[in-house]
């Protein structure tokens, strides 16, 4: 089991540029989550998908952020345009959820450390 794979591991870019973060969930998992972690705000859930459908995007900070899951094995989180305050570690996680119940743990990737200059 390769685990959740995120790319890139590090990204440094200038303010105003478009940033795309990528995630490959564990095969067979049907739920996918995007989190952001900062010292100030801790771990925040941005959006999550169930069976490739966005279920809750209430944590997405603003319209500059968008996420897609075109198929069960791939998801992207895009920031356009990026701002210095978007600097954080972004995590993707996946799990198997059945209906409205989930007693299965989430499996996290090792994150993308994003720095916006």
Partner 1 sequence: AQSVAQPEDQVNVAEGNPLTVKCTYSVSGNPYLFWYVQYPNRGLQFLLKYITGDNLVKGSYGFEAEFNKSQTSFHLKKPSALVSDSALYFCAVSPLGSASKIIFGSGTRLSIRP
Binding residues for partner 1, per CB under 8 A? 4, 31, 33, 42-43, 45, 48, 50, 55-56, 91, 93, 95, 97, 99-103, 105-111
CB of 76 to partner 1, least distance (A): 18
CB of 72 to partner 1, least distance (A): 14
Sign of CA pseudo-dihedral 98, 101, 103, 108? positive
CB of 81 to partner 1, least distance (A): 27
Nearer to partner 1, 28 or 42 (CB): 42
Rounded Cα gap, residues 17 and 73, in angstroms: 26
CB of 3 to partner 1, least distance (A): 9
H-assigned helices in the chain? none
Rounded Cα gap, residues 54 and 73, in angstroms: 15
Tell me the CB-side half-sphere exposure of residue 49, using CA atoms within 13 A: 24
Nearer to partner 1, 17 or 102 (CB): 102
């Amino acid at each position: 089991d390769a685990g959740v794979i995120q790319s890139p591991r590090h990204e440094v870019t200038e303010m105003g540029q478009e940033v795309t973060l990528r995630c490959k969930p564990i095969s067979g998992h049907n739920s996918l989550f995007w989190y952001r972690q900062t010292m100030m705000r801790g771990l925040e859930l941005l959006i999550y998908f169930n069976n490739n459908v966005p279920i809750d995007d209430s944590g997405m900070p603003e319209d500059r952020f968008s996420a897609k899951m075109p198929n069960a094995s791939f998801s992207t989180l895009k920031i356009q345009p990026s701002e210095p305050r978007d600097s954080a570690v972004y995590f993707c996680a996946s799990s198997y959820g059945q209906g409205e119940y989930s007693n299965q743990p989430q499996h996290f990737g090792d994150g993308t450390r994003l720095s916006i200059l």
